[in-house]
Protein backbone atom coordinates (compact mmCIF):
# COMPACT_ATOMS: atom_id res chain seq x y z
CA UNK A 1 0.00 0.00 0.00
CA UNK A 2 1.33 3.46 -0.94
CA UNK A 3 0.37 6.30 1.36
CA UNK A 4 0.67 9.88 0.14
CA UNK A 5 0.97 12.23 3.11
CA UNK A 6 0.37 15.87 2.17
CA UNK A 7 0.97 18.44 4.91
CA UNK A 8 0.41 22.14 4.43
CA UNK A 9 0.69 24.00 7.71
CA UNK A 10 3.23 26.86 7.81
CA UNK A 11 4.24 25.36 11.17
CA UNK A 12 5.41 22.17 9.48
CA UNK A 13 6.06 19.32 11.96
CA UNK A 14 5.27 21.45 15.01
CA UNK A 15 1.74 21.94 13.73
CA UNK A 16 -1.42 20.42 15.13
CA UNK A 17 -2.67 19.27 11.73
CA UNK A 18 0.64 17.53 11.00
CA UNK A 19 0.48 15.87 14.42
CA UNK A 20 -3.02 14.57 13.66
CA UNK A 21 -2.23 13.51 10.11
CA UNK A 22 0.85 11.69 11.40
CA UNK A 23 -1.40 9.78 13.82
CA UNK A 24 -3.59 8.73 10.90
CA UNK A 25 -0.50 7.57 9.00
CA UNK A 26 0.53 5.59 12.10
CA UNK A 27 -2.91 3.94 12.23
CA UNK A 28 -2.59 2.98 8.57
CA UNK A 29 0.91 1.57 9.13
CA UNK A 30 -0.47 -0.37 12.05
CA UNK A 31 -2.93 -2.19 9.79
CA UNK A 32 -0.52 -2.39 6.81
CA UNK A 33 3.02 -2.53 8.28
CA UNK A 34 4.59 -2.92 4.83
CA UNK A 35 3.05 0.29 3.47
CA UNK A 36 5.30 2.98 2.06
CA UNK A 37 4.81 6.65 2.90
CA UNK A 38 5.55 9.47 0.47
CA UNK A 39 5.72 12.79 2.33
CA UNK A 40 4.74 15.88 0.36
CA UNK A 41 5.34 18.98 2.48
CA UNK A 42 3.77 22.07 0.92
CA UNK A 43 3.48 24.47 3.86
CA UNK A 44 5.55 27.52 4.76
CA UNK A 45 8.91 27.69 2.96
CA UNK A 46 8.02 24.51 1.04
CA UNK A 47 4.97 26.18 -0.51
CA UNK A 48 4.40 25.53 -4.21
CA UNK A 49 4.73 28.56 -6.51
CA UNK A 50 1.53 29.90 -8.04
CA UNK A 51 0.58 28.39 -11.37
CA UNK A 52 2.07 30.14 -14.41
CA UNK A 53 0.50 31.74 -17.48
CA UNK A 54 0.99 28.74 -19.79
CA UNK A 55 -0.70 26.47 -17.29
CA UNK A 56 -3.63 28.87 -16.99
CA UNK A 57 -3.92 29.00 -20.81
CA UNK A 58 -3.79 25.19 -21.04
CA UNK A 59 -6.72 24.84 -18.66
CA UNK A 60 -9.07 26.28 -21.28
CA UNK A 61 -7.24 25.24 -24.45
CA UNK A 62 -7.81 22.00 -26.35
CA UNK A 63 -4.24 20.89 -25.58
CA UNK A 64 -1.41 21.90 -23.25
CA UNK A 65 0.48 24.94 -24.51
CA UNK A 66 3.61 23.93 -22.58
CA UNK A 67 5.08 20.97 -20.73
CA UNK A 68 7.43 23.16 -18.69
CA UNK A 69 7.04 25.19 -15.51
CA UNK A 70 3.73 24.60 -13.70
CA UNK A 71 2.82 21.84 -16.18
CA UNK A 72 5.92 19.85 -15.21
CA UNK A 73 5.31 20.44 -11.50
CA UNK A 74 1.67 19.47 -11.92
CA UNK A 75 2.72 16.29 -13.73
CA UNK A 76 4.90 15.26 -10.80
CA UNK A 77 2.20 16.00 -8.20
CA UNK A 78 -0.46 14.17 -10.20
CA UNK A 79 1.84 11.16 -10.62
CA UNK A 80 2.31 11.08 -6.85
CA UNK A 81 -1.43 11.19 -6.34
CA UNK A 82 -2.15 8.54 -8.97
CA UNK A 83 0.39 6.13 -7.54
CA UNK A 84 -1.05 6.37 -4.02
CA UNK A 85 -3.56 3.89 -2.61
CA UNK A 86 -4.46 6.13 0.34
CA UNK A 87 -4.07 9.89 0.73
CA UNK A 88 -3.65 11.65 4.08
CA UNK A 89 -3.93 15.45 4.10
CA UNK A 90 -2.99 17.51 7.16
CA UNK A 91 -4.38 21.03 7.00
CA UNK A 92 -5.22 23.92 9.29
CA UNK A 93 -8.38 25.99 8.70
CA UNK A 94 -7.39 29.46 7.49
CA UNK A 95 -10.04 32.15 7.23
CA UNK A 96 -12.86 29.59 7.28
CA UNK A 97 -11.37 27.60 4.41
CA UNK A 98 -8.28 25.87 2.98
CA UNK A 99 -4.91 27.60 3.50
CA UNK A 100 -3.33 29.10 0.39
CA UNK A 101 -0.68 26.37 0.40
CA UNK A 102 -3.29 23.62 0.03
CA UNK A 103 -5.16 25.63 -2.59
CA UNK A 104 -1.95 25.80 -4.66
CA UNK A 105 -1.58 22.01 -4.49
CA UNK A 106 -5.20 21.71 -5.62
CA UNK A 107 -4.52 24.14 -8.50
CA UNK A 108 -1.73 21.80 -9.63
CA UNK A 109 -3.57 18.49 -9.33
CA UNK A 110 -7.03 19.51 -10.57
CA UNK A 111 -6.07 19.62 -14.22
CA UNK A 112 -8.11 19.29 -17.38
CA UNK A 113 -7.37 16.18 -19.50
CA UNK A 114 -5.28 14.76 -16.63
CA UNK A 115 -7.53 14.46 -13.58
CA UNK A 116 -10.88 15.57 -15.03
CA UNK A 117 -12.45 16.09 -18.40
CA UNK A 118 -15.30 18.30 -19.48
CA UNK A 119 -18.47 16.72 -20.82
CA UNK A 120 -21.78 18.29 -21.87
CA UNK A 121 -23.04 17.31 -18.39
CA UNK A 122 -20.14 19.05 -16.65
CA UNK A 123 -16.75 18.05 -15.29
CA UNK A 124 -16.03 14.35 -14.90
CA UNK A 125 -13.33 13.00 -12.56
CA UNK A 126 -10.61 10.80 -14.05
CA UNK A 127 -8.85 9.59 -10.88
CA UNK A 128 -9.51 6.14 -9.44
CA UNK A 129 -11.32 6.61 -6.14
CA UNK A 130 -9.33 5.75 -3.00
CA UNK A 131 -9.57 6.59 0.70
CA UNK A 132 -8.62 10.15 1.55
CA UNK A 133 -8.18 11.04 5.21
CA UNK A 134 -8.22 14.74 6.04
CA UNK A 135 -6.76 15.90 9.37
CA UNK A 136 -8.02 19.40 10.16
CA UNK A 137 -6.88 21.71 12.94
CA UNK A 138 -8.66 24.96 13.79
CA UNK A 139 -8.28 27.66 16.41
CA UNK A 140 -12.06 27.90 16.91
CA UNK A 141 -14.85 25.38 16.39
CA UNK A 142 -16.63 24.96 13.08
CA UNK A 143 -18.77 21.86 13.68
CA UNK A 144 -21.12 20.74 16.41
CA UNK A 145 -23.25 22.67 18.89
CA UNK A 146 -20.39 24.88 20.01
CA UNK A 147 -19.49 26.03 16.48
CA UNK A 148 -19.29 29.81 16.16
CA UNK A 149 -18.04 30.19 12.61
CA UNK A 150 -18.81 28.95 9.11
CA UNK A 151 -17.00 26.03 7.53
CA UNK A 152 -16.03 26.46 3.90
CA UNK A 153 -13.13 24.03 4.29
CA UNK A 154 -14.76 20.60 4.52
CA UNK A 155 -17.50 21.24 1.90
CA UNK A 156 -14.89 22.71 -0.43
CA UNK A 157 -12.58 19.71 -0.12
CA UNK A 158 -15.49 17.33 -0.66
CA UNK A 159 -16.56 19.22 -3.80
CA UNK A 160 -13.14 19.71 -5.39
CA UNK A 161 -11.70 16.27 -4.60
CA UNK A 162 -15.01 14.69 -5.65
CA UNK A 163 -14.73 16.55 -8.95
CA UNK A 164 -11.53 14.66 -9.82
CA UNK A 165 -13.00 11.33 -8.67
CA UNK A 166 -12.00 11.20 -4.99
CA UNK A 167 -15.23 10.67 -3.07
CA UNK A 168 -14.06 8.41 -0.28
CA UNK A 169 -13.26 11.10 2.29
CA UNK A 170 -12.96 10.82 6.07
CA UNK A 171 -12.40 13.95 8.17
CA UNK A 172 -10.80 13.96 11.61
CA UNK A 173 -10.47 17.27 13.39
CA UNK A 174 -8.88 18.93 16.38
CA UNK A 175 -10.95 22.08 16.89
CA UNK A 176 -10.49 24.87 19.42
CA UNK A 177 -6.68 24.88 19.55
CA UNK A 178 -6.85 28.55 20.59
CA UNK A 179 -8.92 27.85 23.71
CA UNK A 180 -6.03 26.89 25.98
CA UNK A 181 -4.25 23.72 27.00
CA UNK A 182 -7.25 22.04 28.67
CA UNK A 183 -9.50 22.52 25.65
CA UNK A 184 -6.71 21.29 23.38
CA UNK A 185 -6.14 18.21 25.51
CA UNK A 186 -9.87 17.48 25.46
CA UNK A 187 -10.08 17.94 21.67
CA UNK A 188 -7.08 15.68 21.11
CA UNK A 189 -8.54 13.00 23.40
CA UNK A 190 -11.86 13.04 21.54
CA UNK A 191 -10.09 12.74 18.21
CA UNK A 192 -7.88 9.91 19.49
CA UNK A 193 -11.07 8.12 20.50
CA UNK A 194 -12.64 8.71 17.06
CA UNK A 195 -9.47 7.38 15.41
CA UNK A 196 -9.46 4.30 17.63
CA UNK A 197 -13.11 3.65 16.82
CA UNK A 198 -12.50 4.10 13.13
CA UNK A 199 -9.44 1.90 12.84
CA UNK A 200 -10.38 -0.76 15.41
CA UNK A 201 -12.60 -2.59 12.90
CA UNK A 202 -9.52 -3.30 10.80
CA UNK A 203 -8.15 -5.45 13.62
CA UNK A 204 -11.26 -7.65 13.95
CA UNK A 205 -11.53 -10.10 11.05
CA UNK A 206 -15.28 -10.51 11.63
CA UNK A 207 -15.71 -6.74 11.22
CA UNK A 208 -12.99 -6.42 8.60
CA UNK A 209 -13.71 -3.89 5.88
CA UNK A 210 -11.84 -2.46 2.96
CA UNK A 211 -9.78 0.67 3.56
CA UNK A 212 -12.85 2.57 2.49
CA UNK A 213 -14.16 4.84 5.24
CA UNK A 214 -16.79 7.18 3.77
CA UNK A 215 -17.41 8.58 7.24
CA UNK A 216 -16.98 12.04 8.66
CA UNK A 217 -15.63 12.03 12.18
CA UNK A 218 -15.11 15.30 14.03
CA UNK A 219 -14.30 16.27 17.55
CA UNK A 220 -15.73 19.76 18.10
Annotated binding-site positions for FMN:
9, 15-17, 137-140
CA angle 110, 116, 118 (to 5 degrees): 125
Stretch that binds ligand FMN, among 14-22, 53-61, 118-126, 162-170 (CB under 6 A): 14-22
How crowded is residue 141: how many other Cβ atoms within 10 Å of its Cβ?
A: 23
220 belongs to the binding site for ligand FMN (CB under 6 A): no
Q: Is 151 in the site for ligand FMN (CB under 6 A)?
A: no
The stretch among 30-38, 74-82, 138-146, 155-163 that binds ligand FMN (CB under 6 A) is 138-146
**Minimal distance in Å, beta carbon 96 to ligand FMN?**
4
d(CA 37, CA 41): 12
Distances (CA, A) of 124 to 86, 106, 109, 178, 192: 21, 16, 14, 39, 36
Q: Which of 3, 4, 5, 15 binds ligand FMN (CB under 6 A)?
A: 15
Residue 74 binding ligand FMN, by CB under 6 A: no
| Residue 174: how many other CB atoms lie within 10 Å | 26
Q: Which of 3, 4, 5, 9 binds ligand FMN (CB under 6 A)?
A: 9
Amino acid sequence: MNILHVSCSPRDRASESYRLSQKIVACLLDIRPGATVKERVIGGAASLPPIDEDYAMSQHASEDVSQEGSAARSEELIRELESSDVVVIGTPMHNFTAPAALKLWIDHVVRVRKTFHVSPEGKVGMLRDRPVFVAVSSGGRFAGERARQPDFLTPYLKAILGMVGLHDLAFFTVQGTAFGPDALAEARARTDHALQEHFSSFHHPSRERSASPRSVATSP
